[in-house]
Amino acid sequence: MALRHGATMLAGVGLLFLGSLLLGARPGVGLSDLAALIYPPDPQDAPGIVLREMRLPRSCAALLAGAALGAAGAVIQTLSRNPLADPGLLGVNAGAAFGIALTVWLSGPLPAGQLIVPALIGAGLASAVIWALGAAMRNPLTLILGGAALTAMLGAALRGVMLIDNGALDALRYWSVGSVDAVPPGSLGPAALLALVGAGLAMAAARRLDAMALGEDVAQALGTSLGLTRALALGATAVLSAAAVLVAGPLAFVGLVAPHVARMAGASGTGTLCVLSAAGGGALVLLADIAGRIILPGLVIEAGLGVTLIGGPVLIWLVRRHAAGDI
Amino acid sequence: MTRTRLIYIVSGLLLVALIATLGAGGGSTALDWRAALAGEGVDYTILVHFRLPRIALAALSGAALGIAGSVLQVMLRNPLASPDIIGFGAGAAAGGVAAIVLSGSLALVAPGALLGGGLAAVAVLGLSWKSGLSPLALVLTGVALSLMLATVADILLSLSPGLQAAEAARFLTGGFSGADWAGVLGVAAVLAAGWACMGWLSFSVDRLDTGDEIARAHGLRPDRVRLTAAALSAVIVSVSVSVTGPLPFVSFLAGPLARGISGKAGTCLGLSALFGALICLGADSLSRFPVAGTHLPAGLFTAMIGGPAMLVLLVRQGGRG
């Protein structure tokens, strides 16, 4: 069941990726132009150049950020046993974005490879704060509101930096709204590497999280170290979020929605859940970005805004479904 | 009124007066008090047309947000359920932006904000209503709706031509630097009316704290009381936001501070208003100091103070279970 749904989801992601390459403000980009992806197009070939220089990085960024956030959401939801957890809502993305913005403000524009460090530090610190709420972590309300407070605070700090440094306003606006509209040049490679590290951590955490799902006593009896499991899971969340923020800024709701889609597709163990969530997250961001490009002609609605407009109702629906109090 | 309470209120009022006086004197231009008070020249103009409305607006809108938040928190039995968290503030802000962008002028901001705040309140209450009002569902729905409304405001911003976008962006960074006496009067009117209604309602709201069954035995209708209080709170917040722009965490912070310091339960309207005013005056004073050559808006400081305060409150609440 999970396998069949998984194959369907992967096919869907592939189709959306293709759609993201072919649809957009510039008409007349057809399947025959896809050759430009392999061979550098000649400078006269406008559709080929649009495809290779603009749509390809954008689609890759959407796929990468969505997949990373989807997997991160699956890990953090399993760890906290809270179906409403999401790196975007919990402030982990805002932490990474603020780390990057602060660094850009203090030291001027840096190559994307060097921004990995502040992104990781920011995401790590934010997840540590969320973990410090650990005593109350089982309470869904506490976790979400703590995350909302952290996000609001970091958002205000980010706006402060933007207001102080008018010259960097454009560069910094990118880090306040999630978007794949202008992927920072050279950021895809480092982010992909980072996402791979995060995926490795998530896979290492997955088996232990499965044991923990049986109950902490049982997990310890099976020889699972609770501390190590938590550290691995939180580390995976932070690294995956940092990778996503590096290419696409802080996208909220992707990590919330994707695991629910994956569960509907029949994912059971944490490992399967992560993989299917990654597919779901990639599909979601690709979909939001394509819709944002074609809904209003002449205007691009950033993917972060589209994702929020899709994810907000999902959160409300989840809350309504669980309103009996057993969230 | 007990003596300790009197001491709190008097010292709080003295603090408000002190910050206000300092605020009137401080700023980018040093004020010559003698000339200003004698009603002469530039100093008088600065004092009466710039400094005084700004201070009055900070104090009044802080007080209005304080009572709106406090009543909602007591009613929902959760200090985290304040109008700025459950979406009323975001609704009013989005409504104000929509009015600016669609009409092209600042004239319709107040009705737009009222409409936005009212619609947001209806949406939050309607979506979280399930055979009664569950505070948990209400707060989570409100968080989701706030994020969506902020997104709508952002899309409206990118839709609008440059000049209106600048106006709308200025409205969205809440603060008191654009204060005038007309705005002060509006907030003062809604504060007076709102305070009167809330005072009448607070008896019932305080009784709800004992549980719905006991409240019903007292002859109250819990859900009707909740709806009235929520509607009143939405109106107060919307009017305040339409004048000052969004000021995050003020309505959230005032109530818990008032209850924590006085050690009393219940709505504590007077003290909440006092602390709301204090927070706003403090944030406004901070916004007069240039940071790296720029004056940051007051709304930024309320968020920077309110965020950590909320985390502390959550940890303490979690520790108690």
B159 touches A at CB < 8 Å: yes
Name the residue among B128, B154, B294 with its Cβ closest to that of A305.
B154
- Residue A33, pLDDT > 50, answer yes
Q: Please give the average per-residue pLDDT across B153-182, as a whole number.
A: 83
Question: Residue A78 and residue A34: Cα distance in Å, rounded?
Answer: 40
Task: Identify the closest residue of chain B to A314 by CA–CA distance.
Answer: B144
Q: Chain B, 92-131: which have a CB under 8 Å from a chain A CB?
A: 127-128, 130
| Chain A contacts in chain B segment 10-29 (CB below 8 A) | none
What pLDDT was estimated at residue B177? 83
CA B35, CA B108: separation in Å to the nearest integer? 38
Q: What is the distance in angstroms between the Cα of B248 and the nearest Cα belonging to chain A?
A: 8
Average pLDDT for chain A: 85
Mean pLDDT of A176-203: 88
User: What is the C-alpha to C-alpha distance for residues A155 and A95, in angstroms, rounded to an integer?
Assistant: 9
Cβ atoms B251, B89 nearer than 8 A? yes
**How far apart are the C-alpha atoms of B235 and B233, rounded to whole Å?**
5
Highest mean pLDDT among A20-24, B27-31, B65-69, B265-269: B65-69
Contact B26, B50 (CB under 8 A): no
pTM: 0.88
For A202, B16, B139, B252, B280, the CA distances from B275, given in Å and listed in that order, are: 46, 9, 23, 11, 9
- Which 8-state DSSP code applies to residue B51? I
Residues ≥6 apart with Cβ < 8 Å to A216: A226
Query: What would the mean pLDDT of A233-240 be, rounded to a whole number?
Result: 94
pLDDT of residue B243: 92
Report residue B220's pLDDT band, with 50, 70 and 90 as the boundaries: confident
Instruction: With beta carbons less than 8 A apart as the criterion, state whether A284 and A88 touch.
Output: no
Q: Note the pLDDT tens digit of each residue in B19-75.
A: 777 666 666 666 777 777 777 777 777 777 888 888 899 999 999 999 999 988 888
Domains and CATH numbers, chain B: 3-320 (1.10.3470.10)
Residue B294 sits at φ, ψ, to 5 deg, of -125, 145
Which backbone phi and psi does A58 adopt, to 5 degrees? -65, -45
C-alpha to C-alpha distance for B94 and B85, rounded to whole angstroms:
14
- Sign of the CA dihedral running A16, A19, A23, A24: positive
**Domains observed in chain A:** 2-247+256-321 (1.10.3470.10)
Give mean pLDDT, residues A119-143: 80
- Cα distances (Å, whole numbers) of residue B233 to B64, B194, B236, B264: 9, 8, 5, 21
pLDDT (mean) for B214-220: 82
For A11-25, A89-103, A177-191, A200-214, which range has the lowest pLDDT when averaged over its residues?
A177-191
The pLDDT assigned to A327 comes to 43
Q: Picking from A56-60, A115-119, A216-220, A270-274, which range would have the lowest pLDDT averaged per residue? A: A216-220
- C-alpha distance from residue B245 to each of A62, B84, B161, B175, B228 (Å): 34, 12, 20, 6, 24
- Token readout for A291 is 């819709």
User: What does the pLDDT read at residue B89?
Assistant: 92
CB nearest to A145's CB, from B139, B248, B304: B139
Q: What is the pLDDT of residues A58-67, one digit of tens each?
A: 999 999 999 9
Q: B321 pLDDT exceeds 60? A: no
d(CA A150, CA B264): 28
pLDDT of residue B74: 85
ipTM score of the complex?
Answer: 0.84
Nearest to A305 among B85, B127, B155 (CB): B155
What was the pLDDT predicted at A138?
60
pLDDT category of residue B1 using cuts at 50, 70 and 90: low
Residue with the bigger pLDDT between B102 and B263: it is B102
Task: State the pLDDT confidence band at B192, using cuts at 50, 70 and 90.
Answer: very high
Percent of chain A with pLDDT over 70: 93
Interface probe with B: pick from A93, A319, A321, A322, most Cβ of B within 10 Å: A319
CA distance A52 to A49: 5
Q: How far apart are CA B150 and CA B230, in angstroms?
A: 21
Task: Look up residue A269 and give its two tokens.
Answer: 């163990």
Query: pLDDT tens, B229-262?
Result: 889 999 999 999 999 988 989 998 898 888 887 7
Angle between helices B52-75 and B222-244 (to 10 degrees): 160
Give the separation between CA B148 and CA B241, rounded to whole angstroms: 18
Alpha carbons B266 and B203: distance in angstroms, whole number: 9
Q: Are the beta carbons of B88 and B120 closer than 8 angstroms?
A: yes
Residue A39 CA to residue A58 CA, distance in Å, equals: 19
| A286: nearest Cα among A69, A38, A2, A97 | A69
B132–chain A nearest CA distance, Å: 11
DSSP A42: P
Confidence of residue A131 (pLDDT cuts 50, 70, 90): confident
Q: Which range in A48-62, A168-182, B1-15 is most confidently predicted, on average pLDDT?
A: A48-62
The pLDDT > 90 percentage for chain A reads 39
pLDDT beyond 60 at A29? yes
Given a contact cutoff of 8 angstroms between Cβ atoms, the answer to whether A184 and A247 are in contact is yes
Does position A72 have pLDDT exceeding 80, yes or no?
yes
